[in-house]
Amino acid sequence: MQISGAQMVIEALIAEGVDTVFGYPGGAIMNVYDEIYKQKSFQHILTRHEQAAVHAAEGYAKASGKVGVAMITSGPGFTNAVTGLADAYMDSIPLVVISGQVPMSLIGTDAFQEIDAVGISRSCTKHNYLVTDAHDLPRILKEAFYIASSGRPGPVHVDIPKDVTAQIAEFNYAIELNLETYKPHTKGNPRQIKKAMEAIAKAKRPLFYVETFMARGTLSYDDELLISMLGMHGSYAANMAMSETDLVIGLGARFDDRVTGKLSEFAKNAGVIHVDIDPASISKLVKADYPIVGDVKNVVKEMLESIALVNPSRYESWRETIKNFDELHPLTYHEDSQRLKPQWVIQRVGELLGDSANISTDVGQHQMWAAQFYPFTRPRQWVSSGGLGTMGFGFPAAMGVKVASPDKISINFTGDGSILMNVQELMTAVEKKIPVINIILNNNYLGMVRQWQTLFYNKRHSETDLSHQPDFVKLAEAFGGIGYRVETKEQFDAALRDAVERNIVTFIDVVVERLENVMPMVPAGGSLFNMMLLERGEKK
C-alpha cells in the first residue's frame, strides 16, 4: 500500500507488537506525531525530558524483555537523548530510538535545530541509520528491531528527515531480512564446549561468574550456591573465592574493570572459560583459555549434555572454604540508635515487599547498598545503570518498569543528588498515573564521591556537600504526588505502607547517616583480595 513515511513508522511499530512509546515531540518529528494522534494501537507516554524518555524505554525493556521504543525530535531533542543511548549501549539494552531530522535539502546548512545525529550516535549505538528515502523505511525499521534484539542486544538509532516522513511510498513489512555482515552466533562450538566441560571435571576449585552487579536476581538471594556479587563493592567471600579459584566459568559477563580490579592479579592461578554471544567481549580484558561464542542459554544446555563428566562431591571442601570466607566477613553494617542506616532501609523494603517489588536505582552509594542488601528472587527484578553509571536514570527507568510490569510495585532507590537530575518526571508519573515509589536515601552529600574524597583525598570534600536542598515533600506535592519525611523506623514503615496503599507517585525522604561508607571496597586498580572492610563490631 502507498502511505507516507510517517504512517510507515506507525505501521512498523504496530507490526512489531509495540504497546508503549516514550517520547517528546518537536518540529522535525511532527509528521509522525500527527499519525500517533490518529492511531489507537499503542500508548504514547509524554516524558518531560528526552533523556528521561530513553531511560524509561530502557526500564521497560529490562523489565519486559521486549525492545523499548523512544521517539524524539532533532537538534537539542536528540542531544538530550544521547545519555540514554550511551547508557543502553554500555548495558546491552535493546532499544529503537527514532529521531526527527531537518529536511534533506537543509542537512549540512546549519539549519534550525540541525545536528549530525548519526555522527553523534555512531559511537554509542549498536547500529544507526539516516533514512534518505521513504522506500527504504520499512526495511530499515524492520532491521532496527531485529538488530536491537538479536545477538548482544543494544540500542539502534533511526534518524528520519522531515521531508522523508512526508514522502509517499510503498509499504511492505513482509520483506525478508538479508544482513550479510550481521550473523550472530547463537550456538557454541561443540569441540570448545567439550574441552570446557573436561576442564570443569578436572578443576578442584571451579567458580561460576554469573551473579554480576547487573545480574542480581539471576539466582535467588537464598540459593545455597550464591556467594553474592563480585568486584569493587562485592562480598568478601565472592572476591576471595575469585582470588583462589582454579577455573573461572564466565557466562555472559564481560569482565569489566569494576569486577576484575588489578588485571595481573585477577584469578591469576585459574583457567578461564568465557561464554558470550559477542565475540568482541571474549578475551577483551581477561584472556579466555576456553572461548565459546554463543547464546548462554544454548551453550549451557549443550554443556549439560556432558554433565556426567562432573563429580559434584569433589567440590565439597571448596564449598566449605567459601562458607568460611562468608562467615569471616559477611555483608553487614553497624546500626545506630540515633539515625537510620541506609542498609536497614533497603533490607526493610525487602522484608515488607520482597518479590512483589521491582527495584530500580539511580547511581551512587544507594545503588551499591541496594545491590548488596535487597533480597532479589528472580530475573528482571533489578534495574540499574551499570556501565555508564548515569545519575538521573532511576526515576524514569522505574516508570518504564512499572508500565512493563503493572502488577508489581515499582521502587526507585535514589539519593538526594540523583533524584534532582530528572525530577521533572514527577509530572509524567502524575499525568499518566505511574505510581513509582522513590525512596530518597538522604545524606546531604553526593555520597559516593564524598566517600572517595574521604578515603583517598584526605577528606577534602570538594563540592559534594548538599546541605542546601529543596523540601522533597512539598516538591512531590507541588506536582500532584505525595511526600513523606521520615527519621525513624516506625515512620518509615508507616510511610511505605501508606505509599503502597495510595498507589500514586511518591517521594519518601529518608534522613540517613551522613558519613556511611559502602563496604567492602576494592580501591580502583587494586587486587580483589586487598579489600577495605567494615571495622569490627556487632550488628545490633
Indicate which residues carry an active-site annotation. Answer: 50, 112-113, 162, 448
Alpha carbon distance 175, 178 (integer Å): 9
Angle CA(423)–CA(400)–CA(215) in degrees, nearest 5? 105
Helices 296-304 and 190-202 pack at an angle, to 10 degrees, of 60
Alpha carbon distance 409, 321 (integer Å): 38
- Cell 545503588 found at: 367
Q: What is the DSSP letter of 512?
A: B
Helices 316-328 and 236-244 pack at an angle, to 10 degrees, of 140
159 close to 128: Cβ distance less than 8 angstroms: yes
Alpha carbon distance 318, 130 (integer Å): 55
- Going 413 to 419 to 424 to 426, the CA torsion angle's sign is positive
Distances (CA, A) of 404 to 49, 58, 169, 354, 380: 20, 11, 34, 19, 11
Alpha carbon distance 138, 131 (integer Å): 10
Classified as helix, coil or strand, 291 is strand
Classify burial at 113, counting beta carbons within 10 Å of its beta carbon; exposed 0-12, middle 13-18, buried 19 or more: middle
| Joined grid coordinates for residue 264 | 595481573
Helices 342-352 and 365-373 pack at an angle, to 10 degrees, of 40
| Joined grid coordinates for residue 168 | 509517499
| Joined grid coordinates for residue 110 | 546549519
Alpha carbon distance 100, 163 (integer Å): 10
Three state DSSP letters for 142-167: HHHHHHHHCCCCCEEEEEEEHHHHHC
91 close to 389: Cβ distance less than 8 angstroms: no
57 close to 22: Cβ distance less than 8 angstroms: yes
Return the H-helix or E-strand segment holding 250: strand 247-251
Cβ neighbours of residue 403 closer than 8 Å, sequence gap 6 or more: 20, 45, 56, 60, 434
229 close to 360: Cβ distance less than 8 angstroms: no
- Cell 537539542 found at: 76
